[in-house]
Structure 1
Amino acid sequence: MTTGLDGRSVIVTGAGSGIGRAAALAFAAEGARVLVADLNEEGARAVVEEIEKTGGTALAVTGDLSEQAVVDRVAQTAVERFGGVDVLVNNAGIMDRMSALADVSDAEWERVLRVNLTAPFLLTRAVLPHMLAAGRGAVVNTASEAGLRGSAAGAAYTASKHGVVGLTKNLAVMYRGQGIRANAIAPGGTATGMVPDVDGEAHGPRALGPYFGNVGRISTPEEQAAAIVFLASDAASNISGVVLPVDNGWSAV
């Protein structure tokens, strides 16, 4: 079965590095036109150049996706340059400090929730009218093992990723009769270069430490990207509302 992604319009957030970069390259390899959205302008443009060197089509939009003006610019650019939005991958995210709830500052809580949960909500809301007008669309969110359990991250990150899981499932139910599919991946440990700013002596990291022995093999960004592309593709045409662990069996332990 083919992916059906050739010529499709795809937005990937956090696409300047890590899982997002791998996903952007994988979509381009399937013939999709990719909007690379990232806070880091240098990283985003490097991915666009990488795609264009292989004959693909891509463009970059940079900015903080927790800001409505940036969200609007991303959606409008995809519609104006690509004629619509067929696939949205809400991948951009940040880690917390593994802080236990009593130690979470207002700033840590608000920033993590804003980037990890509110930004996907804002961008999905912005592209939905275009998907609904076309009668089809696929949304793939990057959740986390922390969205499935309470022992994989601090309070803020865990809450944000549980929120992503709920957002994904509600979206799938609300628009199941209108051609919209919504799924998520739940990555386990992945070699993305994202290193949280952790105080090893704080209660949160010390309490979580014993549970990380179950993480198993660390995955590559390309393994996560393969799952994203599958869920966005026609090969998954009857799959919606699923949260797919990509974690070497961590969620089964």
Structure 2
Amino acid sequence: MDFGLDDRTALVTGGGGRIGSEDCRVLAAEGAEVIVLDVDLDAAEEVAGEIETSGGTAHAVECDLTDREEVADTVGALEEETGGVDILINNAAMVDARSQVKDYDDETWDRDVSINLTGAYNVTRAVFPGMLEREWGRVVNMSSMAGWQGGFGQISYSATKAALIGFGKTLALEGAQRGVTSNVIAPNIVVEALADLPIEQLEEVDPYFARIARATPMRRLGTEADVANLVAFLCSEQANYVTGQVVGVTGGIDLFSF
């Protein structure tokens, strides 16, 4: 199936990370010109290099999403260079904190809000007007099962990922009559290197992940490709009537089961 992305420019935040890099690869394979945006330029350059070697088109861009002025200047330069950002994947996030709220570190809360939520706002605010003007755009916000269902010991991550759901739905309303869609993806734990391990072996690697796999009806973790393939579809011409939706990539963990 041709997703119709040959003439589109896609910007992926956190593009040097596990999920973001796979988003970049899949979008490039579908023909999009991909901007691998990350605060870690080395990671972004590695992903962009892989894409270029595979015959795709990609650019590595360093940017701190928490710096609103830097984001505006970076996006402005990219829009001028590429003719406009058509696709935005708000993927960048921090997810390393595990502590109950009574013991939570205020600096961790502030950091996660500034990156996970305000960072997404900053870059969206910079690209969204151009999408409306051109009357075509796709925004995909990466939430999480922790944002949908809560996550024990993940108060800042869960709160920011829940906020991205409302953020994405509001963008859907604002873009609905101008050819701009906005959707939200809520993945389970996705780690390709561990997805095929039997739960007993996974227990030895990471007991936390093993507990999640046991609670998942499919009895395994997901992969980055499970997410990236959905990203590509939501950015496609075929998904032009899909907007304001929260789509789980969960293996069924959100189902009520005995």
Task: Give me the TM-score of the superposition, normalised by structure 2.
Answer: 0.87
Call closer, same or farther: CA 1:23–1:152 in 2, change over 3 Å: farther
What is the CA–CA distance in structure 2 between the aligned matches of 1:210 and 1:30, rounded to whole Å?
34
1:231 maps to which residue? Answer: 234
Amino acid of the residue matched to residue 58 of structure 2?
A
1:31 maps to which residue? Answer: 31
Call closer, same or farther: CA 1:192–1:75 in 2, change over 3 Å: farther
The share of aligned pairs that are identical, in percent, is 37
Q: For structure 2, list consecutive stretches of 5 or more residues without a partner in the other structure.
A: 194-207
Displacement of 1:45: 0.4
1:200 maps to which residue? Answer: none
2:4 maps to which residue? Answer: 4
Deviations 1:14-58 (A, max 9, x none): 111211000101111111101100111111001111111122211
Deviations 1:181-220 (A, max 9, x none): 0001111011179xxxxxxxxxxxxxx9997441441111
What is the CA–CA distance in structure 2 between the aligned matches of 1:192 and 1:69, rounded to whole Å?
36
1:115 maps to which residue? Answer: 115
Q: For structure 1, list consecutive stretches of 5 or more residues without a partner in the other structure.
A: 194-207
What is the CA–CA distance in structure 2 between the aligned matches of 1:113 and 1:247, rounded to whole Å?
24
User: Residue 192 of structure 2 contacts residue 222 of structure 2 at CA under 8 Å; is this kept in 1?
Assistant: no
What is the CA–CA distance in structure 1 between the aligned matches of 2:144 and 2:81, rounded to whole Å?
32
For residue 250 of structure 2, the aligned residue among 247, 250, 253 is 247
Following TM superposition, where does structure 1 have runs of at least 4 consecutive aligned residues deviating by more than 6 angstroms?
A: 208-211
2:80 maps to which residue? Answer: 80
2:154 maps to which residue? Answer: 154
* 1:99-110 equivalences in 2 (<5 Å): 99-110=99-110
Task: Give me the TM-score of the superposition, normalised by structure 1.
Answer: 0.89
Amino acid of the residue matched to residue 5 of structure 1?
L
What is the CA–CA distance in structure 1 between the aligned matches of 2:46 and 2:4, rounded to whole Å?
26
1:214 maps to which residue? Answer: 215
* 1:153-192 equivalences in 2 (<5 Å): 154-191=154-191
User: Residue 145 of structure 1 contacts residue 186 of structure 1 at CA under 8 Å; is this kept in 2?
Assistant: yes
- Using CA pairs under 8 Å that are at least 6 residues apart, name the structure with larger relative contact order, 1 or 2: 1
Amino acid of the residue matched to residue 23 of structure 1?
D
Deviations 1:65-101 (A, max 9, x none): 1111331243123212210011000001111422222
User: Residue 117 of structure 2 contacts residue 161 of structure 2 at CA under 8 Å; is this kept in 1?
Assistant: yes
Amino acid of the residue matched to residue 231 of structure 2?
I
1:199 maps to which residue? Answer: none
2:22 maps to which residue? Answer: 22
1:54 maps to which residue? Answer: 54
What is the CA–CA distance in structure 2 between the aligned matches of 1:152 and 1:247, rounded to whole Å?
17
1:124 maps to which residue? Answer: 124
Larger displacement relative to structure 2 (100-109 or 7-16)? 100-109
What is the CA–CA distance in structure 2 between the aligned matches of 1:227 and 1:114, rounded to whole Å?
26
Amino acid of the residue matched to residue 187 of structure 1?
P
Displacement of 1:2: 2.3
2:199 maps to which residue? Answer: none
Displacement of 1:234: 1.1
User: Residue 36 of structure 2 contacts residue 60 of structure 2 at CA under 8 Å; is this kept in 1?
Assistant: yes
User: Residue 146 of structure 1 contacts residue 153 of structure 1 at CA under 8 Å; is this kept in 2?
Assistant: no
Call closer, same or farther: CA 1:41–1:209 in 2, change over 3 Å: closer
User: Residue 63 of structure 2 contacts residue 74 of structure 2 at CA under 8 Å; is this kept in 1?
Assistant: no
User: Residue 101 of structure 2 contacts residue 153 of structure 2 at CA under 8 Å; is this kept in 1?
Assistant: no
What is the CA–CA distance in structure 2 between the aligned matches of 1:153 and 1:188, rounded to whole Å?
16
Amino acid of the residue matched to residue 155 of structure 1?
I
What is the CA–CA distance in structure 2 between the aligned matches of 1:210 and 1:20, rounded to whole Å?
23
